[in-house]
Structure 1
């Protein structure tokens, strides 16, 4: 069986796929109280300021069984889609969500890199605040205001009335990708609530507005998995509502403003990725971070671990291969898909010493989510 490009505007490239897990369909929830003003009534400045990082799921004892044989050969079956820079020129007026308090450690926008760092597992990485960053009149020249960084942002949501944050990224005109555990408990408690996305967030400011959700979907593998990790398909997608960027102005889709990343399945086991997001152990999750590292080991049941010092708040952030502005001459090498998500942050370890994070390998279950959200008119065209 092969996937077919049902929506050509989605630029779905089909190389080949397996039918594994095809019996596990997506699990979804619709926002019955959808608003078109970019934010839900739940989100006051006080709640935004109080939102805490969703704890990074911790690998269960004995569950992180290394699977070295799986890392010896990259699967040949892949599906993928291209990213695209924003189609709109300029940016709306920044939206001040709240003013961070001193304990949130809003540090100067200076550069900082920890090259070739490693934890006790020996998985090397380079961790850095996204840079350069500028404030005030020069803010528009900052890296986080330029594509492809503009595709990454903070995902706000609530669990039983308590506000939380994860990380997420835009992968189509109205579609954002994140972790399954950032949208659903993995148990009978079901879906979280009040999803709101702030792309390119920094220091309490949403420079590209906030966006309200309409549909959320995750895999049955995550929803019925009991909430434990590693999980074979800990990923999700959310549809966000169009909105005007100025009062009474024309209505735009999220991806028109931010651009979007592409994606590629079964490409995590042998790769090098930039892991983007807002871990709260770094800059109190007030500035975007980028952790770059190579694959470290493949683990059961369908996961790969990379070196990383990111913790809670980074959940759901994209793992992007070939994260770059394509140079003259184009990308080179055997895997030339540029700015493509190949995983999202899923779990870490109880101890901070290993400095390793894991992600589920994107497979046919990811494509099922994609086909579902792209079946809604205008989401992918």
Structure 2
């Protein structure tokens, strides 16, 4: 697979960044990569960073290994496990922007989730973009240009991504990860073209089982009691999913941190190094909280696909179902509901996602959503 081969469904974006990163090419000092969740924003940003840092095409593979591990000396990363990027972290990364590249052509600073910067934090970045160092390139990632201040947008060159097709993602899973074509197609379809989630579903049997449980639980709701039990059950599904993901990442990060300190995994921690590990543990705790909220949102996204399937079926639309494996039960539900009831349930899920984004307790969000589902279902009976 070539250097850009893992970026699927984005030929125009790849072409633009490939040309901008060629040795001798004039490149903008700041870029903004936007696109829907799962479209590969961060992966493309880091691929671009590696290409900018490498002195020539022959170096790209070795540079990418370090960039992918976030250990290259010419790479800076600003991200957060919190809901917002705080101003202190922004000030620290802005300071490093003035460092000259240690090994490569450029120093590159990637800001993941740039939409998580409140105005005060954005203003810190704005000053850096107004007076850019000669050999530093900023790469910001966000869902859309509207998520950033107009003054930030005006100082960046924009690259917009599109949602890759399930077939393109299935092809990547087969070629890169060796996933059986049938399993790859199913994972890409159920993930609704979210690249990261498709890989999890294709390679982690537990993740696929949790998604199946989500759909089965939702299809079994008929009464208000069912709704409350479903809310509690799916909250536990999200907790299990978040715990599994966090456990895997936490151990890898701890082992990497120990190696960077010159220690082997399992070795006693010298007192002078314990502060660094405590800071890592605090970051991991914050990530666990965010992972739980992200897990609830993933459940809501899966439910949204289910109820949209019901709505399309009730309308008699000629469209492929996301949850094709449950077509019989989807048809039965569509026959019980009128299109208006199905639309009301779809709206309830979208409302739940908005409430979750405002920080409302996930359990209450699920209970309110499923209660509304029962009311809509009874109205259509």
Question: What TM bracket, shorter-length normalisation?
Answer: under 0.3
Write 1 or 2 for the structure with the bigger share of strand: 1
Normalising by structure 1, what TM-score? Answer: 0.24
Larger radius of gyration: 2
Instruction: Between the two structures, name the one with larger relative contact order (CA 8 Å, sep ≥ 6).
Output: 1
Write 1 or 2 for the structure with the bigger share of helix: 2
